[in-house]
Structure 1
């Protein structure tokens, strides 16, 4: 049996499963590309911003982050916090929380659809299985002594759809978990920036010792009267 015969024997439900598999592959590839673009390591930028904040203040650190134009979620959260740092740590914390929510939506976009595909795939395969078994039982009602070829049509449809549904579910499940692990790693780095930045802003300034007053010069008495 070639591929054409296999498609014909599987019935119409297989076409639905093929369309779902194409969607799963496309969505997985698109999300992998997006996460790869966002996944540049931001640790060097974070440490540089920390040093600049300690030396020159949050405004200089914000200029450094803007100049780097880093695409990672951690850099976006860091930029949001430094932009509100002049209003105090509480304002910076609120701005970073809003930025973190926006970055989470960007990181986990599409993962819910992959989870739905992983659940729907076996159900569609089961529906194709039921349709194939119904077709096989109809052969008994229409024919007194059905041949193996007549029964095999419905059974083939049932088994092919079952296998196709499981394949789609496995692909969707594996891709979703792999993408979620990468998104969790990026979100954790952004979360750490949100926790650390208020500490940078409230760090006390270095204490400088006051200059010691100069010791007074000894008074010298001058006698211009001459010796007696």
Structure 2
């Protein structure tokens, strides 16, 4: 993983560069907000770790300018400014995650690797793929098993994914609760049929802004309906 560390504290920068380097990351560093954008463009990192208190221009300005320039690299804000207002402002500006100082190095590594995996997963699916099933703005890539809303992979648990795959494969047709149970809880004899309703409830919330609704048909099962 290639990482750009934008941090003006020399001791913190050196310690993180050593620690993350030992964990298999290629770390580039920058101490100044004005130089950060140029280095960001030059290094093309997989993930950026960004401090907010920088000389020149602060971290939020760096992030805002990066997004305006089309730099879509995942960004984790790492800063001592840990108030709720700072977190909200950072996320609204375009950050993907936020970790206040002091922090645990294992947690930082886990979050960085999660951002890197998410970036890889949200690469655009191939166009005109005959192996894809489309319902409204949802696209099910059968080869990979991933489901996209527009160009972004839906972040689903394995059970939510299994349930949505079953429904999207039968557009306009109800799938019974019993069949969904077999697909979502294979071989789990100690689980009750009502567990399907819990997965449906969680999945329905995640589909709320996709233009597709998960509909319950009493006595028949569940289906996907494209919103008018």
Q: Same fold (TM over 0.5)?
A: no
TM-score scaled by structure 1? 0.24
TM-score scaled by structure 2? 0.24
More helix by share: 1
Structure label with greater radius of gyration: 1
